[in-house]
């Protein structure tokens, strides 16, 4: 087990390197630069800025400089948010995005798993159709429609919750963003759980349990174990995406997470900010792929690491 | 004898037709009520989006300054309570005080009283307004200081209301539907073209080539997707056709994986081995034998990819990276609606409903197709 994890970490390093390399050269080759304003800066000022940020050196040299800095955990200064280093921005934003993402993923597993199980146990009943219909709705209604509607209904008309803002993570401010983040995930989890549960409930070991006359909660627990495999493999990448923040939700609810940095950084050619985000997202994806593999083996003992 | 000989010929003329996979799948699909209803509804929406803008009577980029943000209504505009203020506004420009405004059917009769004789040329202001036609002088008294004018009303229907610039939302929604559907199909087509070719080649070649090709897919997969799309927008500018070819070029990864998996099992089949034994070259085998047999899952995935791309386009438009004015897409309309949700709910309501209806239909069709083509169910 431990050697498997070590080996996976070692194979992750070249992947990470390739990702960093591709995105570094992609963003550098993009037309425009971080200091392009509506009114161009004076040539001398531009030259000085480029020298301070080491943009005047050859691209290959900049690449090496960046790589060695990242190795030491230094993501460099941000170009648009001039007073902050990228590391500081992440230190502030990442906990916020992660809190929201973690809550949303927990909500999605609990609600989606329960709904999917109920639908599978009562296949082709009214409950099943309601869950399937809600699932289709959760998948098709875009989050930038749900968010303003919730703001109007819960925030303004009923005045139960604050419309937007972070307010140091007060629970009342978290409710709406978490719901908006979780809805599509609930839909997918419910759908996958339903399909996997239907298949599992028909399998031989469940039939044996039934014939032994065991209570239904024992049967469901056993079936859930097998049914959780496809859900886990979906949730890995989904969790990585959720924990690194959502542009739409953070923009609409005015939350200071890191989701916005991606779009802002790429559009303003904030090279270091974009690169930092790419690295953070890639690390999350790789970690969660590993977590998925480990969970797989925990849930299904037939899977061996080799 | 002649009769006896005729019998087998007749039986031969009407042979028992074999039922292919596709015929069976079509039968199963037609039995699925949700899928059939979705196909009908989607067809209706598509036809409405393509031909609708010709019928509504408003060009999609026509601005009506007098009808900014008017709510959706089945009745014709102008409404009775809009006429008097508008005539007063015009009266101020004509330098005559409107008196005795009477609305009869499609005609308004108004008496304009000026301190000096009223310049008839100024009556053109009536026609310049969005509400009235050309004014006609019915009666002229008091040396032209007092004139009675007949003005025809211009009836206009805004079934979905108008937007913040005073453009008809129904026409714009249809235009947006056109563009969203076109984008969905275009990007999906590109994604499938690349994905199928790549996946089939990788799966068929196997070995080291397969390993390297799939490793490439893995690496692109762990690149953050939004970053990729934004970079494409940056490179290609805001040219939406180029951009969505590019989006298709990003969306092919899943397709390549699915097709590769299929190909791995297909290449062990006898007919592929037979083709190999006959000396057909690799390109020919992939094109003639492998790809046609992977099409089932491809079709299913396609119906699920179209809504994904439409949502992606909406998301990009929401960020301001998508389709540019005066062209529009459902995402643009929805993000505008979200900004005006207070006071102009119709601006969010109708485009969202259209988008959700399209996505719902595509999802049900995709599910129906999967059930129809899924070998496990047979």
Contact A266 B356 (CB under 8 A): no
Q: What is the pLDDT of residues B9-43, one digit of tens each?
A: 444 555 566 666 677 778 888 888 888 898 999 99
Q: How far apart are CA A134 and CA A253, in angstroms?
A: 24
Q: What is chain A's pLDDT, residue by residue, as a tens digit (306 residues)?
A: 788 788 878 888 888 888 888 888 888 887 777 777 777 777 788 788 778 777 777 888 888 888 888 888 888 888 877 788 888 888 888 999 999 999 999 999 999 999 999 998 888 888 888 888 888 788 777 888 888 888 888 888 888 888 878 878 788 888 899 999 999 899 989 988 988 888 888 888 889 998 998 888 898 888 888 888 888 888 888 888 888 888 888 888 888 888 888 778 877 888 888 888 888 888 888 888 888 888 888 887 776 655
Contacts 24+ apart (CB under 8 A), A171-175: A174/A99, A174/A100, A174/A103
- State the pLDDT confidence band at B377, using cuts at 50, 70 and 90: very low
Res B291 pLDDT > 90: no
Chain B residues touching A245 at Cβ < 8 A: none
Q: Measured between CB atoms, does B21 come within 8 Å of chain A?
A: no
The 3-state DSSP class for residue B168 equals: strand
Q: Test B342 with A18 for CB contact under 8 angstroms.
A: no
> Using the beta-carbon criterion (under 8 Å), do B224 and A142 form an inter-chain contact?
no
Closest approach of chain A CAs to the CA of B211, in angstroms? 14
CA dist B239 to B185, B233, B334, Å?
A: 17, 8, 21
Residue B360 to residue A281, Cβ atoms within 8 A: no
List of chain B residues whose C-beta atoms are within 8 Å of the C-beta of residue A252: 338
CA closest to B377 among chain A residues: A199
Q: How far is B91 from chain A (nearest CA, A)?
A: 41
Is A144 in contact with B311 (Cβ distance < 8 A)? no
Q: pTM of the full predicted structure?
A: 0.76
Q: What is the mean pLDDT of chain B?
A: 78
Q: How many CA atoms lie within 13 A of B24 on its CB side?
A: 14
Q: Is B146 helix (H, G, I), strand (E, B) or coil?
A: strand
| B338–A contact, CB cutoff 8 A | yes
**Domains of chain A and CATH, by start:** 92-299 (1.10.3720.10)
List, for residues A103-157, the tens digit of each pLDDT value.
999 999 999 999 999 998 888 888 888 888 888 788 777 888 888 888 888 888 8
B342: contact with A, CB 8 A cutoff:
yes
* ω into B57 cis (within 30 of 0): no
Report the chain A residue with the minimal C-alpha distance to residue B312.
A142
Residues of chain B neighbouring A149 (CB-CB closer than 8 A): 341, 348
| Residues B71/B346, Cβ–Cβ less than 8 Å | yes
- CB contact B179 to A (< 8 Å): no
Which of B32, B33, B38, B222 is the best mutation test for A, with the most CBs of A within 10 A?
B222
By percentage, how much of chain A surpasses pLDDT 90?
12
Distance from CA of A199 to the nearest CA of B (A): 11
| Residue A266 C-alpha, separation from nearest chain B C-alpha, in angstroms | 7
Please name the residue of chain A whose CA is at the shortest distance from the CA of residue B359. A140
Using alpha carbons, select from B59, B43, B44, B54 the residue that is nearest to residue B327: B59
- CB < 8 Å to A26, chain B: 231
Q: Which residues of A touch B318 (CB under 8 A)?
A: 142, 144, 248
Give the nearest partner residue to A274 out of B227, B338, B355, using CB atoms.
B227
Q: For B219, which of A19, A31, A144 is closest by C-beta distance? A: A19
Is the preceding omega at residue B78 within 30 degrees of 0, hence cis?
Answer: yes
Work out whether the CA dihedral A224, A227, A231, A232 comes out positive or negative: positive
Q: In chain B, which residues have their Cβ closer than 8 Å to the Cβ of A266?
A: 227, 230-231, 234
**Residue A38 contacts by C-beta under 8 Å, 6 or more apart in sequence?**
none
Contact yes or no for B222 and A274 at CB 8 A: no
A145: nearest CB among B223, B352, B360: B352
Identify the pLDDT of residue B375.
52
- The answer to whether B356 contacts A156, with C-beta atoms less than 8 Å apart, is no
Q: Which residues of B touch A23 (CB under 8 A)?
A: 223, 227
Residues of B with Cβ-Cβ distance to A259 under 8 angstroms: none
User: What's the CA gap between A173 and A169, in Å, rounded?
Assistant: 7
Q: Can you tell me which residue has the tokens 């994905």?
A: B195
Chain B partners within 8 Å of A139 (Cβ): 359, 363
Q: What is the DSSP letter of B280?
A: -
Distance in Å, alpha carbon of B325 to nearest chain A alpha carbon: 19
Cβ–Cβ pairs < 8 A, chains A and B: 93
Nearest to A257 by CA among A181, A196, A157: A181
- B 231-290 near A (Cβ less than 8 A): 231, 234-235
Residue B231 has its nearest CB partner, among A27, A141, A156, at A27
Separation of alpha carbons A292 and A277, rounded Å: 22
Cβ–Cβ contact B60 with A under 8 A = no
Chain A positions touching B313 (Cβ under 8 A) are none
Predicted confidence (pLDDT) per residue in B102-157, tens digit = 777 777 777 777 777 777 777 777 777 777 777 777 777 777 777 777 777 777 77
HSE, CB side, 13 Å, CA atoms: give it for residue A240.
26
* Chain A residues closer than 8 Å to B184 by CB: none
- B249: distance to nearest CA of chain A, Å? 16
Shortest CA distance from B357: residue in chain A: A140
Strand ranges inside chain B, DSSP E: 97-104, 107-113, 136-141, 146-152
Beta bridge mates, B140 = B147
Sign of CA dihedral A143, A149, A151, A155: negative
Q: How far is CA B197 from the centre of its chain?
A: 28
Q: How far is A285 from chain B (nearest CA, A)?
A: 7
Q: Collect all residues of chain A within an 8 Å Cβ-Cβ radius of residue B348.
A: 145, 148-149
Per-residue pLDDT tens over the stretch A76-93: 888 877 788 888 888 888
A85, two tokens: 């280093």
Q: Which long-range contacts (CB under 8 A, 24 or more apart) does B343-348 make?
A: B343/B69, B344/B69, B344/B71, B344/B161, B344/B164, B346/B71, B346/B72, B346/B160, B346/B161, B346/B169, B347/B69, B347/B161, B347/B163, B347/B164, B347/B169, B348/A145, B348/A148, B348/A149
CB contact under 8 A, A142 and B355: yes
Question: Taking 90 as the threshold, does the pLDDT of residue B209 lie above it?
Answer: no
């Amino acid at each position: 087990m431990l050697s498997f994890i070590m080996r996976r970490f070692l194979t992750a390093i070249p992947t990470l390197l390739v990702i960093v390399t591709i995105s570094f050269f992609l963003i550098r080759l993009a037309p425009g630069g971080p200091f392009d304003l509506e009114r161009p800066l004076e040539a001398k000022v531009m030259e000085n800025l480029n020298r301070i940020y080491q943009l005047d050196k050859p691209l290959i040299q900049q690449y090496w400089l960046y790589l060695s800095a990242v190795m030491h955990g230094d993501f460099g200064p941000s170009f648009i948010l001039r007073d902050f280093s990228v590391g500081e921005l992440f230190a502030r934003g990442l906990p916020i995005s992660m809190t929201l993402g973690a809550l949303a993923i927990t909500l999605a597993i609990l609600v989606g798993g329960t709904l999917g199980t109920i639908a599978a146990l009562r296949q082709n009943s009214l409950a099943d159709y309601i869950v399937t219909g809600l699932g289709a709705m959760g998948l098709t209604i875009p989050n930038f429609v749900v968010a303003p509607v919730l703001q109007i209904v819960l925030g303004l008309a009923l005045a139960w919750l604050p419309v937007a803002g972070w307010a140091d993570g007060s629970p009342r401010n978290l409710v709406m963003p978490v719901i908006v983040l979780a809805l599509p995930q609930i839909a997918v989890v419910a759908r996958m759980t339903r399909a996997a549960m239907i298949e599992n409930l028909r399998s031989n070991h469940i039939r044996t349990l039934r014939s032994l006359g065991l209570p239904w909660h024992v049967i469901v627990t056993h079936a859930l174990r097998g049914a959780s495999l496809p859900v886990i493999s979906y949730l890995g990448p989904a969790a990585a995406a959720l924990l690194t923040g959502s542009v739409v939700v953070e923009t609409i609810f005015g939350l200071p997470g890191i989701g916005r940095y991606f779009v802002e950084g790429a559009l303003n050619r904030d090279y270091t900010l974009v690169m930092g985000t790419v690295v953070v997202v890639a690390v999350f994806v790789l970690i969660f792929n590993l977590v998925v593999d480990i969970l797989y083996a925990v849930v299904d003992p037939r899977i061996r690491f080799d | 004898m002649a009769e006896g000989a005729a019998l087998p010929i007749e039986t031969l003329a009407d042979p028992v037709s074999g039922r292919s996979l596709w015929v069976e799948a079509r039968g199963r699909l037609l039995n699925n009520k949700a899928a059939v209803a979705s196909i009908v509804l989607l067809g209706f929406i598509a036809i409405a989006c393509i031909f609708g803008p010709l019928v509504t009577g408003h060009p999609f980029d026509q601005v009506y300054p007098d009808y900014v943000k008017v709510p959706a209504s089945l009745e014709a505009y102008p409404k009775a309570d809009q006429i008097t203020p508008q005539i007063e506004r015009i009266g101020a420009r004509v330098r005559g005080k409107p008196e005795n405004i009477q609305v009869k059917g499609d005609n308004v009769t108004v008496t304009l009283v000026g301190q000096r004789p009223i310049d008839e040329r100024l009556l053109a202001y009536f026609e310049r307004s969005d509400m009235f036609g050309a004014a006609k002088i019915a009666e002229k008294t008091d040396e032209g200081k007092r004139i009675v004018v007949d003005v025809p009303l211009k009836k206009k229907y805004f079934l979905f209301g108008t937007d913040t610039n005073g453009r008809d939302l129904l026409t714009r929604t249809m235009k947006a539907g056109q563009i969203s559907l076109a984008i969905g199909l275009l990007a999906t087509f590109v994604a499938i073209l690349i994905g199928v070719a790549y996946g089939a080649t990788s799966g068929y070649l196997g070995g080291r080539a397969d390993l390297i090709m799939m490793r490439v897919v893995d690496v692109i997969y762990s690149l953050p997707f939004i970053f990729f799309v934004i970079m494409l927008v940056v490179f290609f500018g805001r040219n939406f056709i180029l951009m969505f070819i590019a989006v298709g070029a990003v969306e092919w990864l899943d397709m390549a994986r699915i097709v590769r998996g299929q190909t791995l099992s297909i290449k062990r089949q006898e007919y592929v081995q037979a083709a190999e034994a006959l000396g057909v070259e690799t390109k020919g085998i992939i094109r003639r034998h492998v790809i046609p047999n992977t099409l089932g899952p491809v079709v299913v995935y396609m119906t699920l990819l179209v809504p994904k791309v439409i949502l992606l386009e909406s998301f990009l438009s929401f960020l301001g990276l998508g389709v540019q004015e005066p062209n529009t897409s459902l995402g643009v309309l929805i993000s505008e609606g979200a900004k005006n949700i207070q006071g102009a709910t119709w601006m969010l309501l109708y485009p969202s409903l259209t988008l959700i209806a399209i996505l719902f239909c595509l999802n049900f069709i995709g599910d129906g197709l999967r059930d129809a083509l899924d070998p496990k169910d047979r």
